[in-house]
A and B are shown apart, each in its own frame.
Chain A
Amino acid sequence: MGISRRDVLLGTTGALGAATFSRPMPAIAQSEPIKIGWLAAMTGPSSAPTVGFNRGVTFAVDTINAAGGVKGRKIEVITRDTQGDPTKAVNATQEMISQLKVHGIWGPVNSGEALATTPIMARAKMPDIHPCVVETLIDPAKFPNAFRMAPSNSQWDDAVRNYCLTILKVKKIAVFGDTTGYGVTAVGASVAAFKKDGADVVYQANIDATQPDMTPDMLRAKNAGAEVIVVWSVATSMEARMFNTRATMNWDVAFVGHPSLASGDIAGLIEKPANWEKVYAVGYKSCSYDAAGKLPAKSQELVDRLTKANIPLNDTLLWWIAGGIDAVELFAKAVEASGSTDAPGIIAHLNTLSKYPGYFGNYTFSPSQHNGYPTDEIVMSAANSAKSGTFALAPGYA
């Protein structure tokens, strides 16, 4: 039987095809970088936390890669600026899943975006670590791929209530929020929780953040006998006006509440620095210094490393940087432990973590609990005590 030109072509093609299929694919997989998508609101109104988180991300990636990577594989972070816009966040998420084929996603960092992106990531079974506070973003049954590495809003609420009732030992509470969806929801939840714990909520109000004079509500709270004012808002102008009004009223009442009470913007909006005294904002043990001015040893070690690496701390918060580092390290450890970048392996590993020692906190996840940050590491900080991204512990902590 003669060999035709067609037989030669078929044979050659078949041989080449077989050679292609028999190439050692695992070798490529083992050398390709670990791709982490980073949904970062680098610009826009909510960019401040992202800028801090990004410093941590960059620091962690550089450190891990300089040490040889994860089992020889470098980490590659692919950043998309979502500008705090849920639509852009959704587009970036789709791109990361479908085109960039990332192995895990860090972010987004604000709840509005996360509400839009979380179901998309869940459908794609994409491992996701985020720091957003809205309760519904974590549901291991609906979103088994999503892990929260910062406190939820109810954990903040627990910490604030605990500080008011057991440390300040006050019983008559006024709860204020702004008129945004967040403010209304947070005030409702806070009031219900205080009442459940036996406190007397003597006044509650949702105030338009643009209202130029806070005297009406402050006066009503005072007349109702409030011993502390709990604030749930991100509107720094409203908060500063409350502090100024308290001073005008000569009312020696403490404010306790949302982390924004410690925002640097408030310094320029208060009429005198004393107006910012007796204001206690949600903070974290890992990023708070004691009466002697000392941070926890592990945090101090991090600050020293960051300082050595010329990473600025004076215009951001330490917990943002620490959170960025922890997110990258959590992914790196998951790949290292599971031996691959497969999503099921990463998710399974995260579900086994118990008091994993990060810089921001000690994280614990399980298949039924994806709120990883421990409530007992949330503390109150003296709002006006910012120093290199850290705060002084509020009075009452040992």
Chain B
Amino acid sequence: MLGSILASGLAAGAIYALVGVTYNTMFSTSRVMSFTSGQLAMLGGVFGSMFMLKLGLPVIAGFVLTLVGCAIIGIITEFVAVRPVLKNLDQHLYVLSTLALALMIQQVAAIKWGTEPQPFPKLIGWGSGVWDEKFWLPVVACAATVIGLEYLYRRTLVGRAFLAIAEDNFAARALGLPERNLRIASYALAGVIGGIAGFSGGELLLAFFANGALLNFYGFVPVAIGGLGNNRGAIIGGIALGLFQQAANFLVGGIFSSVAVFTLFIVVLLAAPRGLFGSATARRV
């Protein structure tokens, strides 16, 4: 039983963590919580299944095209749902605009892809039981993404520019950084991360249009637990959420596990409103 809890808990947690990082990546350059994050992960599964099973492309080609597709959706999000409301961030119009776009993505997926879950192909074929690739693949993908992001942010000029924008976009603009282009790039990057979440979790979650709404919520929980904009917090929060959820599934049954997750979520927010890893930012007055 412990093996099953760990295997499925880590797998689900890794997917939630990646969706949390998707939220954070979009937030860092725009200060917008984009509720298209879960839909990007859903599209990762749907695009992957479409390219590999429907169109018969090899895994590598399917993977690359999936990421390109998700990056394009990420960019569309920036143009359609984020840019028009940036001047009125204090009115939180982005909640409406990103939710509306998320709903559109979901409806189009339902119409074009179908409302029944579709199979997602075996990618490698390694492992069985609790070592089945559907369990370890999301964990590996999550680890690789974290390492890649660390490299990007610490070792590359573009990554440092992202950090500069995230820290203080007025100062960054004053220094001559192309804030608008960097924001577009960060949304494309968020699309790629969401795509990786959906693609690596495709065997577990299947290619299903309704996964978007589910991942929107379960991806938001680690962001809230870990602290907004804090990727390490999102990773730890996501993994913890997955393990807690699966343990609750085993101990109290699936129908009550959602209640357990909501309870934990509320308790954590009451105890630490800025998240477990968040900190109050200094504000010059």
Pairwise interchain contact B255-A208, C-beta atoms closer than 8 A: yes
**Residue of A206, A208, A216, A220 with highest tally of chain B CB at under 10 A:** A216
Instruction: Report the nearest A residue to B213, measured CB to CB.
Output: A210
**Residue of A207, A211, A213, A268 with highest tally of chain B CB at under 10 A:** A213
Pairwise interchain contact A207-B255, C-beta atoms closer than 8 A: yes
Asked if A94 lies at the interface with its beta carbon under 8 angstroms from chain B, I say: no
Pairwise interchain contact A207-B254, C-beta atoms closer than 8 A: yes
CA distance A186 to B118 in the complex (A): 26
**Contact flag A269-B254 (CB < 8 Å), given A211-B249, A219-B1:** no
Pairwise interchain contact A216-B208, C-beta atoms closer than 8 A: no
Pairwise interchain contact A269-B8, C-beta atoms closer than 8 A: no
Q: Total interface residues on B, using CB and 8 Å?
A: 28
Task: Tell me the chain A residues, 187-221 only, with Cβ under 8 Å from chain B.
Answer: 205-208, 210-213, 215-217, 219-220
Chain B hits for A213, CB < 8 A: 4, 8, 12, 204, 246, 249
Asked if B117 lies at the interface with its beta carbon under 8 angstroms from chain A, I say: yes
Pairwise interchain contact B258-A237, C-beta atoms closer than 8 A: no
Pairwise interchain contact A265-B116, C-beta atoms closer than 8 A: yes
Pairwise interchain contact A208-B254, C-beta atoms closer than 8 A: yes
Asked if A179 lies at the interface with its beta carbon under 8 angstroms from chain B, I say: yes
- Interface flags for B209-233 (1: CB within 8 Å of A; 0: not) read 0110010000000000000000000
Task: Tell me the chain A residues, 210-249 only, with Cβ under 8 Å from chain B.
Answer: 210-213, 215-217, 219-220, 236-237, 248
Instruction: Report the nearest A residue to B247, measured CB to CB.
Output: A216
Asked if B115 lies at the interface with its beta carbon under 8 angstroms from chain A, I say: yes
Pairwise interchain contact A210-B211, C-beta atoms closer than 8 A: yes
Pairwise interchain contact B205-A212, C-beta atoms closer than 8 A: yes
Secondary structure at the B interface, as helix, strand, loop or mixed, is: helix
- Interface flags for B11-24 (1: CB within 8 Å of A; 0: not) read 11000000000000
**Contact flag A269-B255 (CB < 8 Å), given A210-B211, A212-B205:** no
How many residue-residue contacts, CB under 8 A, span A and B? Answer: 64
Q: Measured between C-beta atoms, what is the minimum distance from A259 to chain B in Å?
A: 15
Pairwise interchain contact B255-A205, C-beta atoms closer than 8 A: yes
Pairwise interchain contact A217-B204, C-beta atoms closer than 8 A: no
Task: Tell me the chain A residues, 68-115 only, with Cβ under 8 Å from chain B.
Answer: none
Asked if A45 lies at the interface with its beta carbon under 8 angstroms from chain B, I say: yes
CA distance A334 to B254 in the complex (A): 50
CA distance A217 to B214 in the complex (A): 21
Pairwise interchain contact B206-A237, C-beta atoms closer than 8 A: yes
- Interface flags for B109-131 (1: CB within 8 Å of A; 0: not) read 01000011111000000001100
Task: Tell me the chain B residues, 245-269 only, with Cβ under 8 Å from chain A.
Answer: 246, 249-250, 253-255, 257-258
Which of B210, B214, B250 is close to A216, meaning CB atoms less than 8 Å apart?
B250
Pairwise interchain contact A217-B253, C-beta atoms closer than 8 A: yes
Instruction: Report the nearest B residue to A204, measured CB to CB.
Output: B253
Knowing that A213-B4, A217-B249, A236-B117 are A-B contacts, what are 19 other residue pairs whose CB atoms are under 8 Å apart, sorted by A's residue number? A179-B255, A205-B253, A208-B254, A208-B258, A210-B211, A210-B214, A212-B205, A213-B8, A213-B204, A215-B8, A216-B246, A216-B249, A216-B250, A219-B4, A220-B253, A237-B208, A248-B128, A265-B117, A268-B118
Nearest 8 interchain pairs by C-beta: A237-B117, A213-B8, A45-B115, A268-B119, A216-B249, A216-B250, A207-B254, A212-B204
